[in-house]
C-alpha cells in the first residue's frame, strides 16, 4: 500500500456517502444544478477559490501553494444518463429515468477527494485547477467550458482526466500515447419518395426499397474504402418509415454513427457516405438529404503526458500498463486535449466478485461505480500534482 493510499483512508467513509448521494440524485447534461452547487459548496468549505456557471453548470476550484508558476488541470464530469435505473440499490436514483450509468458520480467524488487530500498535505508548489464539467454524455460540456474561457481564466500547462473502466480489474490502470477514444459522428439521412398506393409502385419512387439499398451500401464503406490497417466503425442504428401495409410512405429516415481515430479516415468515410447517398438516390429516383454531425473528435493523448499518467499511476500503487488499443467509445475530454497537452486514463473498476450477473458494462441500467476504486483515483490525481508540480526543497 502506498503512502497516499494509506493517507486517504480516513477520507473514504465520507466520500462514499457523498458518491452515493450523487448516485441517488443524478442530473442530465447541462441540468447538473444540485451537483454543481454541492461541488462548489464543498470546494469553498475547503478554502479554495471557486468559479461557477462556466459553460453552463461547470465549476472550477483553484488551489495554490508556494510560488511556483506551474499549473495543472484535473477534470471530472458530473452528468448522468437518460436511463431508468434497475439496480435496486438502497441509494438508487430518486429521479426516475435519470441514472448515473457511466460512473460520473464516482469521478466527481474522486476529484473532491483529491482536493481534500491535497489541501491538507500541500506537498506541491504551483496551481491546481479542479475542473468539474457538465454534459459529457453527447452534449459537449467540455467544449462549452472552453468557449466560456476555461483555459484563459484558468491557465493549465497540462490537463488530465480518468474514466472508471469495468473491463479492467480493480487496482489497475491503462492509457497510451496517441488515440485512446474514438471520434464520434452522427448521420441522419431522409429519403423522400412521393408516396402512394402499394399496388401502383410504378407511380412513386419507393423510399423503403431505397433505404434497404442504402443500408447495404453504407455497410460496405469501412470494408471496401478504408485501409484495413486503419480502424473505423459505421453502424446504422435506426430506420423509421411506413405506417400501413398498403401505402408506400413519402419518407424514410436512416440514422447511424461513425467512429474513427484518424481524421483522414473520418474525412474519407463522410465523403464516401455522401457519394453513396447520391448514387442510391439517383438509382432509385428518390430525393435524399443528409445531416452529418461530427460531435466529438478523437481523444488523443500527447506522448509525454501519457507517460506522466502511467508514471503517476505506478506511484499511486496501481498496476499500470500501456493500453494495447484505443476504445471505440467517445469522450468530450477530447476538446480539452485539443487545447492543452494531457492524457486520459482508464481506471480499473472490475469487482473481485461481480455476482451472478457478471460485470455490468458502462451505460447498463444497473451500473454502479465501485467505491473501492475511489482511493486509487484520489492517489492518481495526487501523484500527478506532486510529480508535475514538485514541492520546492528550500
Give the residue with the Cβ less far from Zn ion, 4 or 299: 299
Minimum CB–partner distance for residue 362 and Zn ion (Å): 6
Binding footprint of Zn ion on the chain (CB under 5 A): 102
Minimum CB–partner distance for residue 344 and Zn ion (Å): 11
Minimum CB–partner distance for residue 164 and Zn ion (Å): 8
- E strand or H helix that includes residue 229: none
**Residue 94, number of CB atoms within 10 A of its CB:** 11
Instruction: Please tell me whether residue 25 adopts helix, strand or coil conformation.
Output: coil
Minimum CB–partner distance for residue 138 and Zn ion (Å): 8
Minimum CB–partner distance for residue 79 and Zn ion (Å): 9
With both helix axes pointing from N to C terminus, report the angle between 374-388 and 104-121 in degrees, rounded to the nearest 10.
50
With both helix axes pointing from N to C terminus, report the angle between 303-315 and 374-388 in degrees, rounded to the nearest 10.
120
Burial of 291: CB neighbours in 10 Å, binned 0-12, 13-18, 19+: exposed
Give the residue with the Cβ less far from Zn ion, 125 or 136: 136
| Beta-bridge mates of residue 197 | 247
Give the residue with the Cβ less far from Zn ion, 277 or 334: 334
Give the residue with the Cβ less far from Zn ion, 102 or 377: 102
Minimum CB–partner distance for residue 375 and Zn ion (Å): 20
Give the residue with the Cβ less far from Zn ion, 102 or 159: 102
Between CA 215 and CA 160 the distance in angstroms is 39
Give the residue with the Cβ less far from Zn ion, 80 or 313: 80
Are the CB atoms for 280 and 217 separated by under 8 Å? yes
* Residue 299, Ramachandran bin (φ over 0: left; ψ between -120 and 50: alpha; else beta): beta
Locus of grid cell 473491463: 167
Give the residue with the Cβ less far from Zn ion, 272 or 364: 364
Are the CB atoms for 284 and 193 separated by under 8 Å? no
Between CA 301 and CA 174 the distance in angstroms is 12
Minimum CB–partner distance for residue 104 and Zn ion (Å): 6
Q: What is the DSSP letter of 58?
A: E
Minimum CB–partner distance for residue 80 and Zn ion (Å): 9
Give the residue with the Cβ less far from Zn ion, 4 or 175: 175
Report the residue closest to Zn ion, judged by CB: 102
Q: Could you tell me whether strands 319-322 and 172-175 are parallel, antiparallel, or unpaired per DSSP bridges? A: parallel
Between CA 25 and CA 117 the distance in angstroms is 25
Locus of grid cell 410504378: 202
Are the CB atoms for 264 and 164 separated by under 8 Å? no
Give the residue with the Cβ less far from Zn ion, 78 or 252: 78
Cα 107–chain centre separation? 11
Minimum CB–partner distance for residue 380 and Zn ion (Å): 17
Amino acid at each position: 500500500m502506498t503512502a497516499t493510499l494509506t493517507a486517504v483512508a480516513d477520507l473514504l467513509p465520507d466520500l462514499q456517502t457523498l458518491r452515493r448521494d450523487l448516485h441517488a440524485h443524478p442530473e442530465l447534461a447541462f441540468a447538473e444544478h444540485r451537483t454543481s452547487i454541492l461541488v462548489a459548496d464543498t470546494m469553498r468549505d475547503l478554502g479554495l477559490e471557486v468559479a461557477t456557471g462556466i459553460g453552463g453548470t461547470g465549476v472550477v476550484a483553484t488551489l495554490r501553494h508556494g510560488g511556483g508558476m506551474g499549473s495543472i488541470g484535473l477534470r471530472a464530469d458530473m452528468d448522468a444518463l437518460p436511463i431508468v435505473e434497475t439496480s435496486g440499490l438502497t441509494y438508487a436514483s430518486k429521479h426516475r429515468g435519470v441514472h448515473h450509468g457511466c460512473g460520473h458520480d464516482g469521478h466527481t467524488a474522486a476529484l473532491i477527494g483529491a482536493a481534500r487530500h491535497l489541501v491538507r498535505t500541500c506537498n506541491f508548489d504551483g496551481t491546481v485547477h479542479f475542473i468539474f464539467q457538465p454534459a459529457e454524455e453527447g452534449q459537449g460540456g467540455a467544449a462549452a467550458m472552453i468557449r466560456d474561457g476555461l483555459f484563459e481564466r484558468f491557465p493549465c500547462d497540462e490537463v488530465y482526466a480518468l474514466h472508471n473502466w469495468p473491463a479492467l480489474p480493480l487496482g489497475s490502470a491503462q492509457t497510451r500515447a496517441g488515440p485512446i477514444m474514438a471520434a464520434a459522428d452522427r448521420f441522419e439521412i431522409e429519403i423522400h419518395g412521393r408516396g402512394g398506393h402499394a399496388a401502383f409502385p410504378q407511380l412513386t419512387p419507393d423510399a423503403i426499397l431505397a433505404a434497404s439499398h442504402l443500408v447495404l451500401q453504407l455497410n460496405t464503406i469501412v470494408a471496401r474504402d478504408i485501409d484495413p490497417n486503419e480502424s473505423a466503425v459505421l453502424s446504422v442504428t435506426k430506420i423509421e418509415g411506413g405506417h400501413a401495409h398498403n401505402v408506400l410512405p413519402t419518407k424514410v429516415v436512416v440514422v447511424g454513427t461513425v467512429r474513427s481515430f484518424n481524421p483522414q479516415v473520418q474525412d474519407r468515410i463522410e465523403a464516401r457516405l455522401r457519394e453513396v447517398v447520391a448514387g442510391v438516390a439517383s438509382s432509385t429516383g428518390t430525393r435524399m438529404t443528409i445531416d452529418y454531425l461530427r460531435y466529438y473528435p478523437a481523444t488523443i493523448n500527447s506522448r509525454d503526458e501519457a507517460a506522466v499518467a502511467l508514471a503517476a499511476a505506478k506511484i499511486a500503487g496501481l498496476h499500470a500498463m500501456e493500453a494495447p488499443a484505443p476504445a471505440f467509445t467517445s469522450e468530450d475530454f477530447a476538446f480539452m486535449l485539443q487545447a492543452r497537452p494531457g492524457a486520459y486514463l482508464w481506471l480499473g473498476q472490475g469487482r473481485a466478485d461481480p455476482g451472478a450477473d457478471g460485470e455490468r458494462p458502462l451505460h447498463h441500467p444497473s451500473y454502479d461505480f465501485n467505491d473501492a476504486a475511489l482511493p486509487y483515483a484520489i492517489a492518481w490525481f495526487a501523484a500527478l500534482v506532486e510529480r508535475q508540480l514538485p514541492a520546492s526543497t528550500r
